[in-house]
Amino acid sequence: MINKKAKFIAGSVLIVAAIAYLISAGISTTSQYFFTVDELLAQKASYTGAGLKVKGTVVDGSIVRDPNDYLKVNFSIVEKTSNLKVVYEGVTPDMFAGGREVVVEGTLTNDGVFHANTLLTSCPSKYEAEKEAGKTHPGTLPGYESKEPALETPKVSSKTTI
């Protein structure tokens, strides 16, 4: 009886330890630090090569696309006084433009250039105020109103008995 309890307890501890290890290993490999441009550049030596998310505003006029490959984009993001050069390869969001707030995910190299894997733009809150003032939101057509579909009621004949 004692031998069965000891085996059960040992097995339970082993299973719990394995699950705890898998959770901690998964979190450590997928976790990313989230910084603003100023925070990252103040301590960039500590986070070189690590997975990072950085939030900043795209500098007006800094967006340069590679003429041979339109998917390669170089730009700078800024927060207050700090400026970070970003290299991104991929499809840029529709809202990506100078002066817009972005979040980039990737790694910082030794030369201080951020290589982004993901580029996200945030929709400015001014659109909510514009919508309340009667202006159209990007992606809507002026003068277009959605209409309810005109559905006719089906014509049903009376029941016939045989």
Residue 112 DSSP one-character state: S
Cα–Cα dist 19/25, whole Å? 10
Q: Where are the beta strands (DSSP E) in the chain?
A: 33-36, 51-58, 64-65, 72-79, 82-89, 101-108, 113-121
Give the model's pLDDT for residue 145. Answer: 64
Query: Which pLDDT score, from 0 to 100, does residue 29 have?
Result: 61
Please give the pLDDT value at position 78.
Answer: 92
**Residue 94: what pLDDT?**
85
pLDDT surpasses 80 at 139: no
Of residues 114, 137, 138, 126, the one with CA closest to residue 51: 114
- The ranges assigned to domains in the chain are 1-31, 32-127
* Of 14 and 131, the one with more pLDDT: 14
d(CA 103, CA 84): 12
What CATH code would you report for 32-127?
2.40.50.140
What pLDDT was estimated at residue 50?
A: 78
Rounded Cα distance, 68 and 88, in Å? 15
Helix (H) or strand (E) holding 26: helix 2-30
pLDDT digits (tens, 9 = 90+) for 7-66: 899 999 999 999 988 888 877 666 667 888 888 888 877 777 778 888 999 999 999 998
Rounded to whole angstroms, the Cα distance separating 60 from 42 reads 23
Q: What is the pLDDT of residue 58?
A: 92
